Amino acid sequence: MSGRQIGIIDYGMGNLGSVSNACRFLNLPATIVGSPDELDACDALILPGVGAFGDCMAHLREHGLVQPILDWIAADKPFLGICLGLQVLFEGSEESPGVEGMGVLPGVVRRFRLPHDYKVPQIGWSRVRQALPECPLFEKLPDETHFYFVHSYYADAATADYAAGVTTYGLEYASAIWRRRLMAVQFHPEKSQKYGLQMLANFARWLEQGSPV
């Protein structure tokens, strides 16, 4: 893979090691970036995330990254959010009442309230139904592929027109989103073995091909 540079955003929390190692394994042109100025050298961004919604937004603000990310998305540049990197795209989360998300997508991220036979957090492998199989992330991936999840909150947007992937865990929720050049997944592709690596490779290939809408 040549040319176009992928920036993995470092804002003081998140599984940078796993994501960067996966990119290195795939020989993708990826580098860790931690300041707004460093974004200028990138052609695509990956926002990984683990931990609490409020802490994530606080760290992004402390690093001066919220507005540059919003500007990036508004300019329709390629972007991939992972796990918490999907959730912060919404207006807020029940995890951190009163904390504003980036508001790129409408709605609030909800906490799982499920029967007792469902464990929360959801940890382990679950299927992703391809609601939008034409999404570039799904290239060469069979429908209902299992990916690895670790989360207690979900995007209550299973019927939204940008819900590219839907997962059922006591209820249906959006586990992958796609709107023009904005993509995000609730699961961890970097921890999802060959299919997760294929998804990251798809993102890079989509970028290399000019990331058509």
Nearest 5 degrees, angle CA 127-CA 130-CA 135? 130
Whether residue 180 contacts residue 189, with contact meaning beta carbons closer than 8 Å, is answered with no
Structural domain boundaries in the chain: 6-208
Residues 151-162 have pLDDT tens digits of 999 999 999 999
Whether residue 36 contacts residue 9, with contact meaning beta carbons closer than 8 Å, is answered with no
Residues 26-41 have pLDDT tens digits of 999 999 999 999 999 9
- The backbone torsions φ and ψ at residue 153, rounded to the nearest 5 degrees and listed phi first, read -125, 155
| Per-residue CA distances from 26 to 119, 149, 167, 190 (Å) | 33, 21, 26, 11
Identity at 111, one-letter amino acid code: R
Domain topology for 6-208:
Rossmann fold (3.40.50)
| Structure confidence at residue 211 (pLDDT) | 60
Instruction: Take residue 31 and report the two structure tokens written for it.
Output: 């580098």
Whether residue 38 contacts residue 70, with contact meaning beta carbons closer than 8 Å, is answered with no
Instruction: Take residue 133 and report the two structure tokens written for it.
Output: 């199989």
Rounded Cα gap, residues 76 and 97, in angstroms: 29
- Of 172, 37, 179, nearest to 105 (Cα)? 179
Q: Catalytic residue numbers?
A: 83, 188, 190
Round to the nearest angstrom and report the end-to-end CA distance of the chain.
Answer: 21
Residues 89-135 have pLDDT tens digits of 999 999 999 999 999 999 999 999 999 999 999 999 999 999 999 99
pTM over 0.85: yes
